[in-house]
Structures are given as C-alpha cells and as structure tokens.
Amino acid sequence: MLIAARAMSAGMKVLEPILAQTGVKPVGKAVIGTVKGDLHDIGKNLAKMMMKGVGIEVVDLGVDVSETKFLQKAEEIGADIVCLSALLTTTMPAICDTINSFKEAGLKDKYIFMIGGAPVSSDYAKKVDADYYTPDAGTAAEVAKEALLKKAQ
C-alpha cells in the first residue's frame, strides 16, 4: 500500500505542471487540505491538480490540518473556496469542526465549502452545512469553477 502511495505521489509530480499549464487566468482562490488527524493525501492532491487545471489558484495546506490553520490561511490569502478532505470515518467529524470554527468566527458565509474523500457523501455535506460534495477530482474542479463564476456575478 505504501509503495503504491509513493508511486502515485511520484506520478503526480510529473502530471501537475502539465495539468496546470492550460494558460487560463485564475478564476479564484482556494485552500485545500486533509483534516486534522488524517494523513491521506492522494485524492486531495488529485482534486488540487484538477482545480489548478481549470484555472483556480490553490494553496495546499497538506495533511493533518487544524481548524485554525484552515481559517488563518483562508483569511490570509483571501480565498474564495475552502476544500476539506477526509478518508477516515474517525476524521470525518473534523470536517464539521472546521466548518463550525468558521461559523464561530462569523466567517462561514464568506467562503464556499467543498468536501470530499471516500467516506464523505452529499448527505454528510448537508449535515455539516458544506456547500458542495463531489465524488471525484474532475467533478470537484468543474463544480468549483461554476461556483466561483456564480460568486463573481
């Protein structure tokens, strides 16, 4: 499993510049990360690459990202979208905690929240008050772009 994960990471280093080289102007900014306690990043990295590919500027916070770090970075870079990934049923609640921390700071409505990862669903997105759930990276990029264009209108 570890070998496959490393092979995927190495492959992504080759693909990333190719996918990002589409020459389109940035349509918005996003922060993306895997939530607190969770070290899975293959799917998150794919979502990041696909978003870059449709012209979104993406700041990747990595894995095991605290609520505070998501909030601070989103504010710091003037993000439009906050993207949260979770692969473990035990770390899914950290998605909820992160969104709640934005609510507590009175900043929830300032951002578009997108969530993903194998155990996550559209029902879960509704439950935690996320704006969008998408099942794969390609759809995530399209949905993010549409949401940004709608926000800009």
Tell me whether residue 3 or residue 152 sits nearer to ligand B12 (CB atom).
Answer: 3
| Pairwise CA distance, residues 139 & 148, whole Å | 14
98 lies in the binding site for ligand B12 (CB under 6 A): no
Please report whether residue 137 would count as binding ligand B12 according to CB under 6 A: yes
The 3-state secondary structure of the chain, one letter per residue = CHHHHHHHHHHHHHHHHHHHCCCCCCCEEEEEEEECCCCCCHHHHHHHHHHHHCCEEEEECCCCECHHHHHHHHHHHCCCEEEEECCCCCCHHHHHHHHHHHHHCCCHHHCEEEEECCCCCHHHHHHHCCCEECCCHHHHHHHHHHHHHHHHC
* Interface pick for ligand B12 out of 44, 52, 73, 145 (rule CB under 6 A): 44
Q: Does 59 help bind ligand B12 (rule: CB under 6 A)?
A: no
140 binds ligand B12 (CB under 6 A): yes
Site for ligand B12 contains 85 (CB under 6 A):
yes
Write down the least CB distance from residue 74 to ligand B12, Å: 13
Residue 27 makes contact with ligand B12 by CB under 6 A: no
Asked whether 50 and 138 are in contact (CB, 8 A), the reply is yes
State the nearest-atom distance from the C-beta of 126 to ligand B12, in Å.
15
Which region, judged by CB under 6 A, interacts with ligand B12, from 14-22, 95-103, 121-129, 135-143?
135-143
Interaction site with ligand B12 (CB under 6 A):
1-2, 5, 37-44, 46-47, 83-85, 87-90, 114-119, 134, 136-137, 140
